[in-house]
Structure 1
């Protein structure tokens, strides 16, 4: 949206109202009302004639609308007049075909920014802004504002029915702008405003229509593979009664595989084409989901090529291509072993997580525990062997040291146990005789 504008006006309500009334050429009708201080009736006449401002010369357009906006916001009940003013701005600005969108967008933005942030009137202005941007295919200008939406609803104490109305408008604006993900996101938010305990509202024509639209968007989205949040909505569950075939198809995409999808097509021949659902897109997505299920249900984390080809109903030479696609879709992580002819699973995404998946997880945990126990036993044995080896080495060292001490001991004594070695023989002299 445009940069917020501030209004700088000078004069009393009566003076300003008479000025714009004269500009709109209804001054004679408004003057008596202003003289009687009947401001609301005077303002009503001005607002009723305000569509003529769309023909105002471009250089005067913003000033004229700013004056009108100022007068409306002085009213005790602006909500009474704003729909007309906003409605005028959604019509062509005949005086400036080239810049009409920008002029009208600026005026709508000015209205929104001048209304007190906590005033519920802001909701109605935002709804008109959304419709205006949708009409001109400018959803990208709306997106930055949407991050504040839930906080605004809280400030405005917006009823759930009104929230749903705006969410639907945003969803349709996003869809028309080609943003399927944002369209689906806000459609789910719209369905989230439905009272879970109000069966009449859940099964109403409006809510069932929105639920069906959400299912179609989810099925045809090339990037959406998780349907649990959608299927958990009461209004979507109610499709089992109002649109049972759609409900059956959603169940298949939620937790079944390609073979079930093919059986569905055989059972409801021509139905997919009749409903303008793209079989090629659906089949491709179903193959990717089947691959994910196969990876999640393989206990040893190795899937033979033959199993992949059979489950996906593809020739062996296409396995590598589908592996790349399923990894790119972030459903599975792993790598192909061409030598062993298997796909080695590193990580996989569970499509649903119920009793069956808990059992599979339990089996896998038991397997991991068994492997861990074996590894722990090997580690403990290695530790024991190392300790025993260290003790043997220590004992051997001590023995060698003891032997060395015994061999190098001194001390002599007389007798048999003494040292019998004699010193060197002295030479004989004459004195010895």
Structure 2
């Protein structure tokens, strides 16, 4: 698809009637539309052409794009294009028998061309976009759509779509992403779909259905560890009334630890298995979340291996493997000290940040402040000691200099002027001059 607000155009020559006659001949329905063309019954002509258009799927590959472009151009000349275009889009989801290998690519290119032939604010673009989504889902080609998702919200503003249409798009994207294994994108668009419900719709059957789907997706996702966003969605909060056990499970994953999860399973024995939730995945995710909570509330930033093993209910030999897993999950940053058998926490992610977490931060700040005060006091003491020692050293130098000056002025002059003239000084004997000196 082209960038928004830059529609691609198909240029053709000829009147509607001339082009319709050409298209009818191509589809072998020339006689059926001849009278209609003479009477200039545009919509009746288009009905005949569209009914016959599946024949385009058997024409040579090199003629496919041009023929469909002409058909779409004719449809856009009608005041009732919205009545005809969806049928053409539907046809393009069917197999192209003339090109089994390149057929999906040809059809997708044609659908994209139709999308770009329409003006940016044309509401028909919504219908074509839905057809493209359906096509991509059928053929497992969701990756072709991902680069354009960033423009989707702008497009829907241009189309002036209501909340129901927006929800339809988001659900379709979520489903297409799920089928190709893109759990992250699927989850993000389920959340977007949930947020389209008004306050008076959050308890509706559709809202509850999507909320439950979002919860199951979040629980099964190998990369989703933040459950607070989901917990704060009004539609999801109503699950506490409609699906209380599911809501309790969500609360455990959002705020609690492994011990609470095990208690939940005891109180609701068989629930996880009955709902076809992956028991092993849930257990692993709950251990990682428990590890993150343990790291967040540790004030010393050192967690002994034994404490990790106890919290995660694992053997001490498994601790380092779980440390590697939690770092890979980007829930905690740190390093292992195998010698001291502790994990040194550098950074951690808070699962919940409420009153309790603010108190923990306050305690950490108090601890850091006390430590800084002690360091400051130590530095000041050391500085005072250095200044005292420096003063003593200066006094010692001055004392030594003073002692050196006690000998008196006469001796000082002798030192400065050298030996008296009356004193003989030893000199080297004078060398006799020889002829070699000349």
TM exceeding 0.5? yes
One of 166, 169, 179 as aligned partner of 1:166: 169
Q: Which residue of 2 is the match for residue 26 of structure 1?
A: 29
The answer to whether the Cα contact below 8 Å between 2:202 and 2:234 also exists between their aligned partners in 1 is yes
Query: What's the TM-score, normalizing by structure 1?
Result: 0.88
How far apart in 1 are the matches of 2:101 and 2:78? 33
- SS of 2:140's partner is coil
One of 62, 66, 75 as aligned partner of 2:65: 62
Query: What's the TM-score, normalizing by structure 2?
Result: 0.87
For structure 2, list consecutive stretches of 5 or more residues without a partner in the other structure.
412-420, 423-438
Q: Which string of whole-angstrom CA distances, capped at 9 and with x for unpartnered residues, describes residues 80-131 of structure 1?
A: 2210110110112233323321221121111011112232321221111111
Determine whether 1:177 maps to 2:175. no
How far apart in 1 are the matches of 2:2 and 2:108? 6
1:282 positional shift: 0.5
Alignment RMSD: 2.3
- SS of 1:241's partner is helix
Q: Which residue of 1 is the match for residue 155 of structure 2?
A: 152
For structure 1, list consecutive stretches of 5 or more residues without a partner in the other structure.
412-422, 425-433
Query: What pairs up with 1:40-189 in 2 under 5 angstroms?
Result: 40-189=43-192
The answer to whether the Cα contact below 8 Å between 1:172 and 1:183 also exists between their aligned partners in 2 is yes
The answer to whether the Cα contact below 8 Å between 1:2 and 1:106 also exists between their aligned partners in 2 is no
Q: Which residue of 2 is the match for residue 257 of structure 1?
A: 257
Q: Which residue of 1 is the match for residue 367 of structure 2?
A: 367
The answer to whether the Cα contact below 8 Å between 2:2 and 2:116 also exists between their aligned partners in 1 is no
1:315 positional shift: 1.6
1:394 positional shift: 2.9
Q: Which residue of 1 is the match for residue 276 of structure 2?
A: 276
1:141 positional shift: 1.2
Query: What pairs up with 1:263-412 in 2 under 5 angstroms?
Result: 263-405=263-405, 407-409=407-409
- SS of 1:49's partner is helix
1:373 positional shift: 0.4
1:163 positional shift: 1.5
How far apart in 2 are the matches of 1:169 and 1:335? 43
Q: Which string of whole-angstrom CA distances, capped at 9 and with x for unpartnered residues, describes residues 22-70 of structure 1?
A: 3333333433333333323322332333233223333332222111011
1:407 positional shift: 4.2
Q: Which residue of 1 is the match for residue 414 of structure 2?
A: none
- SS of 1:147's partner is helix
The answer to whether the Cα contact below 8 Å between 1:54 and 1:94 also exists between their aligned partners in 2 is yes
The answer to whether the Cα contact below 8 Å between 1:2 and 1:105 also exists between their aligned partners in 2 is no
Q: Which string of whole-angstrom CA distances, capped at 9 and with x for unpartnered residues, describes residues 126-156 of structure 1?
A: 1111110111111111112212112222232
Distance 1:77 1:391, change over 3 A: farther
Q: Which residue of 1 is the match for residue 38 of structure 2?
A: 35
Q: Which string of whole-angstrom CA distances, capped at 9 and with x for unpartnered residues, describes residues 172-230 of structure 1?
A: 111111111111121112222222xx23x211222211111111111111221111111
How many residues end up aligned between the 2 structures?
410
How far apart in 2 are the matches of 1:130 and 1:32? 38
Q: Which string of whole-angstrom CA distances, capped at 9 and with x for unpartnered residues, describes residues 285-333 of structure 1?
A: 1111111111212222222332222211112221222222122222222
- SS of 2:145's partner is helix
How far apart in 1 are the matches of 2:84 and 2:234? 38
- SS of 1:350's partner is coil
How far apart in 1 are the matches of 2:2 and 2:229? 36
How far apart in 2 are the matches of 1:184 and 1:210? 11
Deviates more, 1:43-52 or 1:126-135: 43-52
Q: Which residue of 1 is the match for residue 211 of structure 2?
A: 211
The answer to whether the Cα contact below 8 Å between 2:255 and 2:352 also exists between their aligned partners in 1 is yes
Q: Which residue of 2 is the match for residue 16 of structure 1?
A: 19
How far apart in 2 are the matches of 1:382 and 1:245? 62
